[in-house]
């Protein structure tokens, strides 16, 4: 896999002044966006197209990148049994770690209890802003999610940019290409070259990341206001701390067992974390994350399988959000939840959280669907967190990103597809 960073020679990157570094530019742009949204909310809200355009242009290249990368990696692996083995290991890991995320979220929200004492009457909540989300949640089910993995047409999968559908077709295409044997080598060479071209395109697009971060943050503060943070500040504080505990303790322990430091990994993907915090979309850095993990010593075929799959099945931050928000709404509306109720909620979330990809406002839609499924918590109460959903996404999306980075390294080591010497060297800078 060709490095995104090859767009700039290593020596040139090392000699760049601090203000020319991507993370510095994104951070400055984010702060400027916050100031604009605070001083002139109307103008800040009008900056939304800048953030949306950046997200859209990244989404434009995700489908072909996943296709070329997965086909190239799987075909060169040459062993479909190994592909299946990697997929099973990844799914087992995903289920274990998302269960841990849900357990931490439930423990934290029960200890902190930010919703206790609010005494909200759900019949008096304004639900006018929920129509889009509740309509989408009606079509969300486990069966529908599984069936949606199979595209109606190959072209439709690429046109919609559905990650799982493209991944499904890419694995089938790679299997067919492998069966051709030596006759498929010329096509495989074209696919590998096409993959390198796509990553060069990503390198060009990332120059506009500060503009996208500025627009997204200016809109967030301008549209929702700093008051949104204050009114439900206890919930936000609890959620951010829960994310930190999960990252540092749970993922930190997994990382230590796998032989690397979670803090060094966070530093390594720092640019990407700043982008997802500002845009509240982890899709914006999917190509860069795949590239960096390959550069860090993970075998390309493992990266190509684990990262795209993890974007639907390993949403650790989303699991933290769903469990936290659900119990908070029960507390706020004085809805009693016993231990058995919460264990049942966890079981439902293990399924519904897997559908939190490929849907506009995905996590919020899944939250509404989950409350409709458990039936004990008033569905109308989700309106209470609608105003701060985007602020909670600022903790959710980077947690998802870090979780998928850790998952890929762990599965690569589990499969014997990790260059540990290279990983140590890269994470040590």
Q: What is the pLDDT of residue 280?
A: 82
Confidence of residue 345 (pLDDT cuts 50, 70, 90): confident
Write out the DSSP string of 258-291.
HTS-HHHHHHHTHHHHHHHHHHS-GGGGHHHHHH
pLDDT of residue 375 exceeding 60, the answer is: yes
Per the CATH hierarchy, to which homologous superfamily does domain 4-427 belong?
Answer: Sodium:dicarboxylate symporter (1.10.3860.10)
Q: What is the pLDDT of residue 251?
A: 97
For the stretch 219-231, pLDDT in tens is 877 876 665 555 5
Where does residue 374 fall: left (phi above 0), alpha (psi -120 to 50 degrees), or beta otherwise? alpha
2-11, 117-126, 264-273, 366-375: which has the minimum mean pLDDT? 2-11
pLDDT at residue 314 greater than cutoff 70 = yes
Asked if residue 234 has pLDDT above 60, the reply is: yes
Which residue did the predictor score with more confidence, 132 or 286?
Answer: 286
Q: What is the mean pLDDT of residues 16-41?
A: 83
Summarize the confidence of residues 269-274 as an average pLDDT: 92
Whether the predicted pLDDT of 74 surpasses 70: yes
Beta-carbon contacts of 13 under 8 Å, excluding residues fewer than 6 positions away, are 5
Length of the chain measured in residues: 429
- What percentage of the chain carries pLDDT values higher than 70? 86
Residues above pLDDT 90, as percent of the chain: 31
Render pLDDT for 194-216 as a digit per residue (tens, 0 to 9): 988 988 888 888 888 899 889 88
Q: How far is CA 280 from the centre of its chain?
A: 9
Supply the mean pLDDT for the chain.
83
Going by C-alpha positions, the residue among 310, 350, 324 that lies closest to residue 245 is: 324
Task: Look at the block and give the residue holding tokens 């720092």.
Answer: 270
Residue 324 pLDDT level (bands cut at 50, 70, 90): very high
- pLDDT, residue 409, reads 97
| Start-to-end C-alpha separation, the chain | 20
Assign 33 to helix, strand or coil: helix
The listed range with the strongest mean pLDDT (117-121, 218-222, 327-331) is 327-331
**Which H or E run contains 312?**
helix 300-313
Q: Which pLDDT tens digit goes with each residue over 180-192?
A: 888 988 998 999 8
pLDDT recorded at residue 4: 41
User: Three-state secondary structure along 312-375?
Assistant: HHCCHHHHHHHHHHHHHHHHHCCCCCCHHHHHHHHHHHHHHHHHCCCCCCHHHHHHHHHHHHHC
Separation CA 5–CA 7 (nearest Å): 5
Which of 202-216, 236-250, 285-299 has the lowest average pLDDT? 202-216
Using CA atoms, how far apart are residues 106 and 317, in angstroms rounded to an integer?
Answer: 13
Q: Residue 99: what pLDDT?
A: 93
Binning pLDDT at 50, 70 and 90, where does residue 296 land? very high
> Tokens 């989303």 identify what position?
318
Query: Are 21 and 185 a contacting pair, CB within 8 Å?
Result: no
pLDDT tier at 144, thresholds 50, 70, 90: low
pLDDT at 5: 42
pLDDT greater than 80 at residue 164: no
The pLDDT, as a whole number, for residue 359 is 47
Task: State yes or no: pLDDT of 349 exceeds 90.
Answer: no
pLDDT tens for each residue of 397-427: 999 999 999 999 999 999 999 999 999 999 9
> Cα–Cα–Cα angle for 75, 78, 82, nearest 5°?
105
Average pLDDT over residues 79-105: 89
What is the torsional sign of CA 44, 32, 292, 427?
A: negative
């Amino acid at each position: 896999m060709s490095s995104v960073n090859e767009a700039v020679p290593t020596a040139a990157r090392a000699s760049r002044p601090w203000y020319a570094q991507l993370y510095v530019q994104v951070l400055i742009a984010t702060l400027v966006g916050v100031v604009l949204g605070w001083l002139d909310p109307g103008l800040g809200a009008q900056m939304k197209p800048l953030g949306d355009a950046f997200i859209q242009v990244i989404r434009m290249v995700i489908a072909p990148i996943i296709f070329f990368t997965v086909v190239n990696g799987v075909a060169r692996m040459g062993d479909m049994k190994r592909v299946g083995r990697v997929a099973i290991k990844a799914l087992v890991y995903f289920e274990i770690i998302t269960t841990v995320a849900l357990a931490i979220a439930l423990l934290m929200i029960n200890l902190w209890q930010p919703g206790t004492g609010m005494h909200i009457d759900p019949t008096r909540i304004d639900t006018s802003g929920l129509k889009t989300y509740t309509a989408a949640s009606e079509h969300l089910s486990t069966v529908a999610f599984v069936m949606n993995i199979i595209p109606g047409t190959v072209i439709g999968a690429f046109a919609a940019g559905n990650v799982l559908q493209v991944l499904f077709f890419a694995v089938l295409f790679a299997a067919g290409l492998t069966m051709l044997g030596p006759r498929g080598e010329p096509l495989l060479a074209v696919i590998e070259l096409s993959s390198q071209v796509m990553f060069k395109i990503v390198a060009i697009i990332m120059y506009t990341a500060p503009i996208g971060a500025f627009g997204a943050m200016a809109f967030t503060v301008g549209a929702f206001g700093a008051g949104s943070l204050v009114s439900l500040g206890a919930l936000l504080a609890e959620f951010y701390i829960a994310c930190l505990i999960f990252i540092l303790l749970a993922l930190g322990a997994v990382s230590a067992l796998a032989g690397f430091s979670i803090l060094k990994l966070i530093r390594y993907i720092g640019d990407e974390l700043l982008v997802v915090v500002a845009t509240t979309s982890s899709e914006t850095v999917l190509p860069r994350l795949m590239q960096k993990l390959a550069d860090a010593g993970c075998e390309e075929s493992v990266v190509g399988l684990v990262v795209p799959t993890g974007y639907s099945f390993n949403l650790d931050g989303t699991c933290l959000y769903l469990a936290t928000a659900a119990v908070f709404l029960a507390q706020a509306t004085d809805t009693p939840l016993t231990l058995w109720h919460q264990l049942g909620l966890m079981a439902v979330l293990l399924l519904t959280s897997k559908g939190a990809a490929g849907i506009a406002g995905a996590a919020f839609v899944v939250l509404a669907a989950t409350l409709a499924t458990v039936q004990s918590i008033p569905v109308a109460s989700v309106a209470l967190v609608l105003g701060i959903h985007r602020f909670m996404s600022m903790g959710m999306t980077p947690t998802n990103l870090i979780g998928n980075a850790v998952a890929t390294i762990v599965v690569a080591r589990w499969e014997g597809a990790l260059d540990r010497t290279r990983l140590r060297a890269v994470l040590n800078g």
